[in-house]
Amino acid sequence: TGPSAPASQRASNKPSCKPAVFIPVDRSPEIQEARLKLPILAEEQVIMEAINENPIVIICGETGSGKTTQVPQFLYEAGYASSSGTIGITEPRRVAAVSMSQRVAKEMNLSHRVVSYQIRYEGNVTDETQIKFMTDGVLLKEIQKDFLLSKYKVIIIDEAHERSMYTDILIGLLSRIVPLRQKKGLPLKLIIMSATLRVEDFTDNNRLFSVKPPVIQVDARQFPVTVHFNKKTPLDDYSGECFRKVCKIHRMLPSGGILVFLTGQAEVHSLCRRLRKAFPYQKNNTAGGEDDKEDSVEEMRKFKKSRKRRKVMTLPKIDLNNYSVVPVDEGDEDRDADTDDDAAGSDIDLDLGDGDSEEDEKSDSSLPLYVLPLYSLLAPEKQAKVFRAPPPGTRLCVVATNVAETSLTIPGIKYVVDCGKVKKRFYDKITGVSSFRVTWISQASANQRAGRAGRTEPGHCYRLYSSAVFMDFEKFSAPEITKRPVEDLILQMKALNIEKVVNFPFPTPPPTETLAAAEELLIALGALKEPPVTGRLKQQLAAKLSCPISPLGRIMATFPVAPRYAKMLALSRQHDCLPYTITIVSAMTVRELFEEFDRPAVSEEETAQLKGKRARFLQMQKIWAGQGPMQKLGDLMVMLGAVGACEFAGCTRKFCEENGLRYKAMLEIRRLRGQLTTAVNSVCTDAGLYVDPKMKPPTEAQATYLRQIVLAGLGDHVARRIQAEELLDEKWKNAYKTALLEDPVFIHPSSVLFKELPEFVVYQEIVETTKLYMKGVSAVEPEWIPALLPPYCHFGKPLENPPPSYCPQRGRVRCHRPSVFYRVSWQLPAVEV
Ligand code: ADP
Ligand code: MG
């Protein structure tokens, strides 16, 4: 605290002393009236006393009780904020950070210069900022710069019940920062806010907090919500089912807003379009047209400029030490995580039926429906619309992803339509590759969604699944950190200079094997510095999980993708490979670009049809990319070609259908490419990449570099064909040995390298059907392996009594960890080591 700090700040430095002053806030009468209705207002005194007297306080309260908007104001009024001591609030979602900062500024009648927000690449923070909303990832990055968070007086961790990985880590870090600040005589207050009462992981965890923090419960008024289950559970078309249900509600039930839960942006838009068509609202229709445009597509169009001419150099290899990008500060990921709660939900009553019958798209109802989309990436001014009253004579209908579950409270909702699904990130155990998949929600989530209907009067929740299906839902979804590989998290923690990750006070620790596997992979990728010793001691040191981060690791930590892919991106500035690596990384993340994988062919006719489509596609791809050595990129070239050819044709549904591509996957790849390009541009400010979906095919030289880049990233996924002399059993003909599995594996029949059978390959993933199959296969040249993957190799002395075929200049290279490779150890031609 500076010498000019007001008395209140000095006072608040003493933990058990109440701030002496009250900072007045000039609120409008309407705002004041609305505030007084919020349940949390009744608890202001209790909350402030607890905060004054304890360094750490937990506040639990139902969504909509006023936690996010009011607690920062209580603190402000009590003199906790000044321009030198900010109140920081973290949100797991960007949408909440932006919209809550705007709401609080408005309620307090202060400008955004004082109440500001900061999300990954955007914010309006100034020197005057006293209340700062941000994503949890942003605060994590700030801790990397200033471990004591000295510019904050208070940190509020909001939505802790979501148990997002960054929130969990922040709580762990803050459990150490708070006592450190206390010691320095500059106390920091930590407030953890949760929409549920399930906070034992934070309170009954003496590794985390030595003194159990007080828990304040805010009793929210919740009107009864009648829950209606469907008799049957629709299989796939939950979006269509949502449409039919909304139509029925709108036609048959009294006034009151409708809130629909769907899983993703594309679905939200398509339902919005259908509903607008069915119940047109003139003004909204024109305004709505804008909303319909996918923002990322719009963005891409803006950037659609002619690309810079590529200059192609003829260096033989990518340079492993060339990762000269400039790291930037923040990073967060947009998540649509699941939540935990038990909210109201009773049994059957006024039921609309299962809605099996097809509805007309055109409706006879004269009352227009005011349809609004809501999802994380929607532009803030469009998001803000949901909080305004709908135009007179219309009914509000918000079609949302699960951002509306706890992050945002939409006023006036009486009916909830819950599809029961959520889009979540899943992680592949073998490859660590992540993808988004739609799955059932948890019971807690379903109840939380139902609760949205009972904010202002009794409401109804229509669940598009049966009660039997509901009983099968898991009760709560497990904390994110226990369900996923943690190499990216470990990399982030190492970037914070937390070297001994096993000792870290996780609210729920991930299994030690998961931590060890992550550490090992990061060492191999070069993101962590290996212990400077060899042999057993080295293993012991690595086993303690205490290796520090390397300069390459710091750069990798700034990319918003898994470390294997981050390594590929870090190497890709060479030879202008970035646009291609971005595309390959996006395609590998989205996966299943081709129809066959989606829908097993039933009839011979259909099989023939798919074959025809595939042949046509390969033809198209050849037209785009040409032939020749480029084909050694194998399935990754097919992925690149799929995107390249498809974008070249304008990425239309027609093109995709004719060529057996999944249209949805192609759109998703386009979005991801846009996102990654933006991320890379902000890391490498001079890269100047354009977000142009169209790209020229790579040159032959670039295709070779790309194979090397992929090899450098997927180093633990190398496989070598079993050689004739090693063949013990005919059934292993054409089989490969991998570094990770004992059993031999095969190239998947769908791979373009199925017949080529290169000696060395890298694969994206292994799937088990009738056999173990490698998918996403590229050929690599043997001499690249020791050059690009030294951590996986072990260089032996030349043999003393070499067999006749043995050339003395050759070293012996073997993978040093996995036992299989000891047995298959191979000799390499002319390797200099
Ligand atoms: P909690 O964090 O406990 O879920 P909030 O503080 O987010 O509760 O919300 C309190 C009230 O403020 C809710 O009734 C909500 O509808 C209202 N509110 C929040 N943001 C806005 C906004 N931008 N415009 C109008 N009302 C809002
Ligand atoms: Mg909130």
pLDDT above 60 (res 310): no
- Quickly state the pLDDT bin for 664 (edges 50, 70, 90): confident
Cβ atoms < 10 Å from Cβ of 68: 29
Average pLDDT rounded to a whole number, residues 212-229: 89
Q: Which ligand is nearest to the CA of 66?
A: 1
CA-nearest of 389, 397, 174 to 278 is 397
Q: How far is the CA of 84 from the centre of ligand 2 (A)?
A: 26
The number of the ligand 1 atom at minimal distance from the alpha carbon of 455 is: 14
Average pLDDT rounded to a whole number, residues 697-717: 89
pLDDT above 70 (res 306): no
pLDDT above 60 (res 826): no
Give me the residues paired with residue 372 across strands: 398
What pLDDT, on a 0 to 100 scale, did the predictor assign at position 331? 29
Q: Is the CB of 66 under 6 A from ligand 1?
A: yes
Q: How far is the CA of 322 from the centre of ligand 1 (A)?
A: 49
Q: How far is the CA of 657 from the centre of ligand 1 (A)?
A: 44
What pLDDT, on a 0 to 100 scale, did the predictor assign at position 231? 84
Least confident range of 54-63, 88-97, 283-292: 283-292
pLDDT over 70, % of the chain: 76
The number of the ligand 1 atom at minimal distance from the alpha carbon of 70 is: 6
Q: Is the CB of 67 under 6 A from ligand 1?
A: yes
Q: How far is the CA of 85 from the centre of ligand 1 (A)?
A: 25
3-state secondary structure of 538: helix
Q: What is the DSSP string of 810-823?
A: --EEEESSSHHHHH
Average pLDDT rounded to a whole number, residues 347-374: 57
What pLDDT, on a 0 to 100 scale, did the predictor assign at position 815? 39
Mutate to test the pocket of ligand 1, among 73, 409, 457 (most ligand atoms within 8 A of CB): 409
Q: Is the CB of 68 under 6 A from ligand 1?
A: yes
pLDDT above 80 (res 640): yes
The Cα–Cα gap between 491 and 522 comes to 7
Q: How far is the CA of 75 from the centre of ligand 2 (A)?
A: 16
Which residue owns the Cα nearest ligand 1 atom 5?
Answer: 66
Average pLDDT rounded to a whole number, residues 41-46: 94
Q: How far is the CA of 287 from the centre of ligand 2 (A)?
A: 29
Cβ(215)–Cβ(199) below 8 Å? yes
Averaged confidence pLDDT in the chain: 78
Q: Is the CB of 675 under 6 A from ligand 1?
A: no
Taking the C-alpha atoms of 224, 230, 233 and 237 in order, what is their torsion angle to the nearest 10 degrees?
-90
Q: What is the pLDDT of residues 78-102, one digit of tens each?
A: 999 987 799 999 999 888 999 899 9
What pLDDT, on a 0 to 100 scale, did the predictor assign at position 107? 96
Lookup result for tokens 């007086």: 153
The number of the ligand 1 atom at minimal distance from the alpha carbon of 218 is: 3
Average pLDDT rounded to a whole number, residues 782-801: 69
Which residue owns the Cα nearest ligand 1 atom 27?
Answer: 387
Q: How far is the CA of 105 from the centre of ligand 2 (A)?
A: 15
Most confident of 356-370, 468-482, 511-525, 529-543: 468-482
- Quickly state the pLDDT bin for 796 (edges 50, 70, 90): low
Q: Is the CB of 103 under 6 A from ligand 1?
A: yes
Q: Which ligand is nearest to the CA of 159?
A: 2
pLDDT above 90 (res 129): yes
Cβ(400)–Cβ(416) below 8 Å? no
pLDDT above 70 (res 13): no
- Quickly state the pLDDT bin for 283 (edges 50, 70, 90): low
- Quickly state the pLDDT bin for 26 (edges 50, 70, 90): very high
Which of residues 321 and 441 earns the better pLDDT score?
A: 441
Least confident range of 110-124, 369-383, 432-446: 432-446
pLDDT above 60 (res 822): no
What pLDDT, on a 0 to 100 scale, did the predictor assign at position 615? 78
Terminal Cα distance for the chain, rounded: 57
Q: Is the CB of 451 under 6 A from ligand 1?
A: no
What pLDDT, on a 0 to 100 scale, did the predictor assign at position 691? 61
Mutate to test the pocket of ligand 1, among 69, 89, 93, 161 (most ligand atoms within 8 A of CB): 69
Most confident of 105-114, 427-436, 539-548, 609-618: 105-114
Pairing of strands 765-768, 772-775: antiparallel
418-427 as b/e: b if 16+ CB within 10 A? bbbbbbbbee
The number of the ligand 1 atom at minimal distance from the alpha carbon of 406 is: 4
Least confident range of 151-155, 346-350, 567-571, 677-681: 346-350
pLDDT over 90, % of the chain: 33
Most confident of 62-76, 592-606, 688-702, 775-789: 62-76
Which residue owns the Cα nearest ligand 1 atom 21?
Answer: 103
Q: How far is the CA of 195 from the centre of ligand 1 (A)?
A: 13
The number of the ligand 1 atom at minimal distance from the alpha carbon of 102 is: 23
Which residue owns the Cα nearest ligand 1 atom 13?
Answer: 64
Q: How far is the CA of 221 from the centre of ligand 1 (A)?
A: 14
Which residue owns the Cα nearest ligand 1 atom 17?
Answer: 409
The Cα–Cα gap between 316 and 469 comes to 58
pLDDT above 70 (res 564): yes
What pLDDT, on a 0 to 100 scale, did the predictor assign at position 363? 46
Average pLDDT rounded to a whole number, residues 747-771: 86
The Cα–Cα gap between 141 and 120 comes to 10
The number of the ligand 1 atom at minimal distance from the alpha carbon of 410 is: 16
pLDDT above 50 (res 31): yes
The Cα–Cα gap between 348 and 515 comes to 47
Pairing of strands 760-762, 778-780: antiparallel
Give me the residues paired with residue 118 across strands: 123, 134
The Cα–Cα gap between 792 and 716 comes to 8
Q: How far is the CA of 228 from the centre of ligand 1 (A)?
A: 27
What pLDDT, on a 0 to 100 scale, did the predictor assign at position 347? 26
- Quickly state the pLDDT bin for 539 (edges 50, 70, 90): low
Cβ(701)–Cβ(628) below 8 Å? no
What pLDDT, on a 0 to 100 scale, did the predictor assign at position 627? 61
The number of the ligand 1 atom at minimal distance from the alpha carbon of 220 is: 3
Q: What is the pLDDT of residues 585-629, one digit of tens each?
A: 999 877 678 776 444 455 677 777 777 877 777 777 777 766 655
3-state secondary structure of 6: coil
Q: Is the CB of 387 under 6 A from ligand 1?
A: yes
The Cα–Cα gap between 569 and 564 comes to 9
- Quickly state the pLDDT bin for 677 (edges 50, 70, 90): confident
Average pLDDT rounded to a whole number, residues 35-46: 93
What pLDDT, on a 0 to 100 scale, did the predictor assign at position 819? 31
Residues with CB under 5 A from ligand 2 (ion): 68
Pairing of strands 257-261, 395-400: parallel
State both tokens at 777: 């296969």
Average pLDDT rounded to a whole number, residues 772-786: 86
What pLDDT, on a 0 to 100 scale, did the predictor assign at position 480? 86
pLDDT above 70 (res 388): yes
Q: Which ligand is nearest to the CA of 409?
A: 1
State both tokens at 260: 């629909």
3-state secondary structure of 674: helix
What pLDDT, on a 0 to 100 scale, did the predictor assign at position 612? 80
Most confident of 169-173, 221-225, 727-731: 169-173
What pLDDT, on a 0 to 100 scale, did the predictor assign at position 254? 92
Which of residues 22 and 90 earns the better pLDDT score?
A: 90
Which of residues 290 and 542 earns the better pLDDT score?
A: 542
Q: How far is the CA of 97 from the centre of ligand 2 (A)?
A: 10
Q: How far is the CA of 69 from the centre of ligand 2 (A)?
A: 7
CA-nearest of 380, 338, 268, 334 to 678 is 334
Pairing of strands 760-762, 718-721: antiparallel
What pLDDT, on a 0 to 100 scale, did the predictor assign at position 6? 43
Q: What is the pTM of this model?
A: 0.70
Q: How far is the CA of 195 from the centre of ligand 2 (A)?
A: 8
The number of the ligand 1 atom at minimal distance from the alpha carbon of 407 is: 4
Q: What share of the chain is helix, strand, coil (3-state, %, to 5)?
A: 40, 15, 45
pLDDT above 50 (res 356): no
Q: Is the CB of 409 under 6 A from ligand 1?
A: yes
Which of residues 621 and 32 earns the better pLDDT score?
A: 32
